[in-house]
């Protein structure tokens, strides 16, 4: 069943006699929708990228700061951005915390001259 939802801007055009009936139907509709959500909640799988403790790869950091993974690796090598060494040999064996990325971005912000 498709419900027609009137434009709220037209509420001023509704006669005063119709308002109680509309409010009663609206209340019943709201109760039915709340019951539907309670019975069958919307399933949203947790996105792994939302985990604040998950270590980020250089490619993920690159997307966040609008650069390339190669530049991220070079910044880590130079100490421009903090990193976590995973124990894997080579520059590819590093990961980044969200805090390290946030600190990097904060260190690059310039304040406006007043």
Residues forming beta bridges with residue 56, ordered by sequence position: 96
Give, as one character, the DSSP assignment of residue 40: S
- Listed in sequence order, the DSSP H helices in the chain are 19-39, 58-65, 69-78, 98-108
Rg over CA atoms, the chain = 26
- The ranges of the chain with pLDDT < 70 are 1-6, 41-50, 90-91, 112-114
Task: Specify the pLDDT at position 2.
Answer: 52
What is residue 6's predicted lDDT score, i.e. its pLDDT?
66
Q: 36 vs 42, 45, 57, CA distance in Å? A: 10, 19, 40
Q: Pairing relation of β-strands 84-85 and 94-95?
A: antiparallel
């Amino acid at each position: 069943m498709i419900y027609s939802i009137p434009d709220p801007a037209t509420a001023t055009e509704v006669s005063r006699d119709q308002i109680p009936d509309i409010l009663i139907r609206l209340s019943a509709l709201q109760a039915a929708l709340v019951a539907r959500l309670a019975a069958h909640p919307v399933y949203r799988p947790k996105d792994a990228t939302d985990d604040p403790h998950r270590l980020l790869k250089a490619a993920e950091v690159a997307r966040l700061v609008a650069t390339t993974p190669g530049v991220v690796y070079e910044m880590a090598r130079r100490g421009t951005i903090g990193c976590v060494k995973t124990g894997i040999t080579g520059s590819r064996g590093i990961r980044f915390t969200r805090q390290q990325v946030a600190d990097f971005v904060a260190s690059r912000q310039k304040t406006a001259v007043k």
